[in-house]
Structure 1
Amino acid sequence: MPIHISRLLLDTLDEHWRRYRISLIDCRHDCSENAVHELRFAIRRLLAMLALLTTLNPKARAGKLQRLLKTQLDCLNALRDTQVMLLEIGNTATTLAELKPFLQDLQAQESRLLAETRAFIKTIPSGKIKRKCKKLHSRCKARRADKTALLEAVDKVYGTALQRYLAVDPHQLPSLHHLRISMKKLRYLLLDIQPWLPDQDKDQLPAIKDYLTLLGDIQNSAVLTAALTSFYHDGLPTAIAAYYQAQQQALLDRFMLEKVQIYDFWRVNP
């Protein structure tokens, strides 16, 4: 069992590296909203596996590799946010004419950020990242992981998510974003260790994804509200303010009704 677990985890690391490399190549050719999303997702999956492997093998350090990947995420954030806002505003501007100047500003931002992102992606040292992944693979290959250690790793991530859940304040949107970050880590970890999960825990994965989608919609709403407030510095037009305040409140109301689902996502008492 331990050798089997270790081998499959390392195979998963290799799979995440391959997906990351493909996503990076795709983004070099086309920084579309979908391509950027796929690259960010690939980076997060790779980071989650690095975190798991270093938790199971404390001597197998991956700090430099993790920092490299996190820097890439940070550099993609502005473009991702702009593209998500463009999708929303592009649809809504047909009924709220006051949004058209903001839409034009977003389009200009996207053009600038696309150029910056393409230039940045060309500088990403994919060969260096590959070598570091191989080095980590070699360090972990000789060590064993067992099912108990895997479940304890999930307990730790889930415990952090519960702490952030208990700190959620619907009037403080950053508290929901903090919960979202923890829930992403939980989802990626559960996806990676699916072969060793009881069936009832596997069944929770779609529900966790839906939970994250709702939290993501709230975060997107917060980012959009901040951008609108900054752009209309003399005050948001009444129609725009009313529309997006109602949209955000509806999302928050839904989350407050559904938030307790978190207690079904993993064992509360190991």
Structure 2
Amino acid sequence: MSMNKRDKLRLPTRKRAPIKLKKDSEIYLPTYHFLKTEFQHARRHEKGLIRDDDTEFLHQYRVSLRRCRALIGMLGPIFYPEQKVMLQNDLKTCMQKTNALRDLDVYLDLMEIYFDAVEPQHHEGLSLFFNDLKDRRTAQFVAVTEWLDTPDYTQQCAQIAGLIDELEHKTTEAGKQPCLPAAKKSIWKRFKKTLTLCQSVGYANPDEHLHQLRISCKKLRYLLEYFAPMFPKKVIKDQIKQLKLLQDVLGVFNDSSVQITFLNQYLEALKPESKRHQAISHLLTATEKKHADHKISLIDHVNQYAMAAPQKSFEKLYRD
């Protein structure tokens, strides 16, 4: 990554959509402006991503695309079916193209933690492991930046922008409903799904169940943040704060789950007597122990969230 900080680019500041949410206005128009602004925000990260000034450019690029994709999915009825499917698929492609690079950035950020997790006699093997990850990262970075420079990517972005623009002039009957009932319905539906997932969490649950809960929490948070201007500021701020705390714990657990899968796959290609194999085996053991500890803490957090006050505040604000 570039070490020249003298002319380092700053991360773009998110701009507000020109049309604000109003309780009685039709839902399609502010949603169109939000999606248009958010997609433009994602694309403003491309220059920093290509210059490789900071891995946060890629991360925020992906966050904005994910936010668009989630909102389109949760407010699906305001889009025509073909329009929704095309938007979801194009945004999904942009995410998938950058998955491997983002994963490698995360692993490289954990370098110091990984070295602390194994005994010094395995540090040489771990150094070889990270040298390999750096080489992989270089190859993925080249692949991503070359893809961003292709006519296919330009055409895909133009199609996404065009499909979003269609919403300004062409929406379904659901798109003409007032913002307030649309907000209440979508938030309450997502909250019920999230709460159901919370209530079914137990020690025997596979990691995938907890991953689905994490995704549901993230979608609920996106809805709360989007519709926040229409509800009491303090209440919705508290709801987002409590949700974020749960989301953070779920994120740590999911990260270690992904790391275990990656380390197991990495081991398969190594000779058992090699220094890298020995180092990664010890790292895997340490990661699995930490993962198990995370699960105990996570289930406590989930149970606290499911049994606490958020349910009452959600019912009061969003349940018809």
Same fold (TM over 0.5): yes
Matching residue of 1:113: 140
CA distance in 1, matches of 2:304, 2:31: 28
Report the residue type matching 1:258 in the other structure: H
Alignment of 1:1-270 (within 5 A): 1-3=23-25, 7-30=29-52, 32-56=54-78, 61-93=83-115, 96=118, 97=123, 98-123=125-150, 124=153, 125-140=156-171, 143-171=176-204, 172-198=206-232, 199-233=234-268, 234=272, 237=279, 239-263=282-306, 264-266=309-311, 267=314, 270=319
Q: Could you tell me how far 1:56 is from its partner in structure 2? A: 4.3
Deviations 1:9-68 (A, max 9, x none): 333223212212212343233384211110110101111332344334567942201110
Residues 72 and 84 in structure 2, CA contact (< 8 A), matched pair in contact too:
yes
Query: CA 1:71–1:164 in structure 2 vs 1: closer, same or farther (change >3 Å)?
Result: farther
Structure 2 counterpart of 1:26, one-letter code: G
Percentage of pairs with the same residue: 21
Stretch of structure 1 that moved more, 126-135 or 44-53: 44-53
Q: Deviation digits for residues 144-197 of structure 1, max 9, x if unmatched?
A: 423122111112222222333344344511111111111111111111000122
Q: Are the aligned partners of 1:208 and 1:265 in contact in 2 as well (CA < 8 Å)? A: no
Q: Which amino acid aligns with 1:115?
A: V
| Pair member with larger Rg | 2
Using a 3 Å threshold, how does the CA distance of structure 1 residues 57 and 224 change in structure 2: closer, same or farther? Answer: closer
Unaligned ranges ≥5, structure 2: 1-22
In the superposition, the TM-score normalised over structure 1's length comes to 0.87
Q: Which runs of 5+ in 1 are unaligned?
A: none
Give, in whole Å, the separation in 2 of the partners of 1:86 and 1:177: 22
Q: Which segment drifts farther, 29-38 or 176-185?
A: 29-38
State the distance in 2 between where 1:236 and 1:215 align: 29
The residue type paired with residue 190 of structure 1 is L
Residues 79 and 187 of structure 1: is their aligned pair in 2 closer, same or farther, counting only changes over 3 Å?
A: same
SS at match of 2:264: helix
TM-aligned CA distance change 1:129 to 1:84, over 3 Å: same
Task: Give the structure with the larger helix fraction.
Answer: 1
Secondary structure, in 3 states, of the residue corresponding to 1:246?
helix
Count of residue pairs brought into register by the alignment: 270
Amino acid at match of 2:147: F
Q: In the TM superposition, what whole-angstrom CA distance separates every residue of 1:235-260 from its partner, at most 9, and x where no partner exists?
A: 76564244222321232121111112
2: CA distance between counterparts of 1:218 and 1:159?
A: 23
Q: Secondary structure at the match of 1:217?
A: helix
Q: Which deviations, in whole Å up to 9, do the C-alpha atoms of 1:89-134 show, x marking residues without a partner?
A: 3443266314222212211211111111112223323222211111
- TM-aligned CA deviation for residue 231 of structure 1: 2.2
Give the secondary-structure state (helix, strand or coil) at the position aligned to 1:168.
coil
Please give the root-mean-square deviation of Cα atoms over the aligned residues, in Å: 2.7
